[in-house]
Amino acid sequence: MATKEPVIPDKLYFKIGEVSKITGVKPYVLRYWESEFKLLSPSKSKSRQRLYRKRDVESVLQIKKLLYEERFTIAGAKKILRADPMKEAVQQLELGNDSSAYHGALRKIRNELQDLREVLK
C-alpha cells in the first residue's frame, strides 16, 4: 500500500519543527541527514534557526522514501541522488556564490542539454 504524499504548504521557509511534522522525520534525523546529503542545505536565520525551502522539504521526502520505503543504505541513497546530473548542477547553481562553480554547473547543464538534443534527433 503506497503512502499518501504529504501536502507541503505554499510558503518560502519552514522551521525544522514544521519540516518534521510535514515529513514525519524527527529533527535530530533531519540534522544528521544535513551532514550526509549535500542537497539538503537549509539556510540559517540570524538567530541560527534552520530555514528550509520547499525544495529542501521535497528532498527530505525523497531521502525518506529511499531510506525507509526502498530500504537503501545512506551510501546507496547518495548514489541514487547523485545519478541525476541535472539536479546536482541546479543545486550547485542555487548554493554557490563561487563563480567557477557557477560556470561549471552551467557547463554541465549545457552538456546535458546537448546530449539530450542528440538523443532526440
Distance CA 15, CA 9 (A): 12
What does the alpha-carbon distance between residue 63 and residue 80 come to, in Å, rounded to a whole number?
Answer: 10
Cβ atoms within 10 Å of 105's Cβ, excluding its own: 20
Q: Are 16 and 52 in contact (CB under 8 A)?
A: yes
Walk along the chain (121 residues) and give the pLDDT tens digit of each residue: 455 778 899 899 999 999 999 999 999 999 999 999 988 989 998 999 999 999 899 999 999 999 999 999 999 998 888 876 666 666 656 655 556 666 777 777 888 888 878 877 7
Residue 38 · residue 32 · CB < 8 Å: no
